[in-house]
Amino acid sequence: MPVISAPQAFNEGALYVDLESILGVRFYLKCEGFNFAGSIKLKAANEMVESAEREGILTPDSILVESSSGNLGVALSMIAASKGYRFLCVTDSRCNLSTRLLMEALGSEVHIVADLDSNGGFLGKRIDYVRSLCASDDRYVWLSQYTNPGNWRAHFLTTAPEIATQFPQLDVLFIGAGTTGTLMGCARYFRRWHRPVRIVAVDSVGSVAFGGEPGRRMIPGLGMSMRPPLLNEAYVDEVIRVEEADTIRMCHRLARRGFLFGGSTGTVVSGALDWLTRHDTRDITAVAVAPDLGERYLDTIYQINWLQDLYGDDILDSEALTASRKAKTVSQESARRRRS
């Protein structure tokens, strides 16, 4: 049993789910949400903070500031609280309420950007705000997850070796693309491995990370409204783009079997399933990386009114819709009994 004195010292890196019984195709899902930050972003956050400390960039008077749609903000909030730093997270209106409340509970300040940038996203405006803060006060330290090599180095040192140890005959690896830190770290590691591994990036429709037209994206996590500075497409063999409706349906499909995952994971699994159903998988060892769990999406992806308002009444099949309505009715009845 591990005994720790800092929350970032614990991260379960060897848990996989075999999805064949659920999805009918054999592949393994590496679950990265079992740590005190609740997502894979803990690895990047820890590496970037420790690098800044080694380089003398962070001092006791420093105020950490970062642009994040949610998960990295939580990870930095946790680390900042543990190490005694102040932290300001610059996010936007798509950030889940539970995520914002969690960051505040950890002692962080949250600033929400409401204006869209030229690509129809919030990222450009978030970055502009961070830059204005840094220009106004030299105590602010921006780690810049979008350009910081510690982002991809964290996964080169941890995530990829963990997968390699468990699956020495790995053939294909599916990784979601946001800042592309996970993607680039794993791709660089497996490029020099003892056998070829096909690296498949999974992106959201409406993201411009790999080019294309920008579009509406309501689920935070994967996708970018600009080209990720860390991205080197020479390391990527293939890109799959997933519609948000398919992300949502996959999340509910997994939840009906007891696995409550977040939006980023739903996107990655949906993209992996699409690829695997189009290929002969009899002799393929495939792994997909699940960045997050689903508790922070209870008021969005798993909330039927939110889904119908944004995506229409047909977003879920009739079975899932009925189950969601029953769950809501039970919850309301339980609340009524407690009040009485």
Segment 216-273, tens digit of pLDDT: 888 887 888 889 999 999 999 999 999 999 999 999 999 999 999 999 999 999 999 9
Q: Is the pLDDT of residue 80 over 70?
A: yes
Q: Which CATH number fits domain 7-39+151-297: 3.40.980.10, 3.40.190.10, 3.30.2290.10, 3.40.50.1100?
A: 3.40.50.1100
276-309 burial, b for 16+ CB within 10 Å, e for fewer? Answer: beeeebeebbbbbbbbbbbbbbeebbbebeebee
Q: Is the pLDDT of residue 326 over 50?
A: no
Angle at 127 between CA 136 and CA 110, to 5 degrees: 80
> For residue 169, with 0-12 CB atoms within 10 Å meaning exposed, 13-18 middle and 19 or more buried, which class applies?
exposed
Q: Is the pLDDT of residue 322 over 60?
A: no
* Banded pLDDT at 176 (limits 50, 70, 90): very high
Q: Where are the domains of the chain?
A: 7-39+151-297, 41-142
* Banded pLDDT at 121 (limits 50, 70, 90): confident
Amino acid letter, residue 178: G
Q: CA 142 → CA 151, 250, 305, distances in Å?
A: 13, 35, 37
Short-list 176, 182, 318, 315, CA closest to 239: 176
Q: Are 28 and 19 in contact (CB under 8 A)?
A: yes
Beta bridge partners of 30: 16, 289
Weakest mean pLDDT among 81-90, 129-138, 330-339: 330-339
| CATH number for the domain whose boundaries are 41-142 | 3.40.50.1100
Short-list 34, 16, 43, 41, CA closest to 222: 41
Q: Is the pLDDT of residue 101 over 50?
A: yes
Q: Is the pLDDT of residue 82 over 50?
A: yes
Rounded to the nearest integer, the mean pLDDT of the chain is 91
| Radius of gyration of the chain from its Cα atoms, rounded to whole angstroms | 20
Q: What is the pTM assigned to this prediction?
A: 0.90
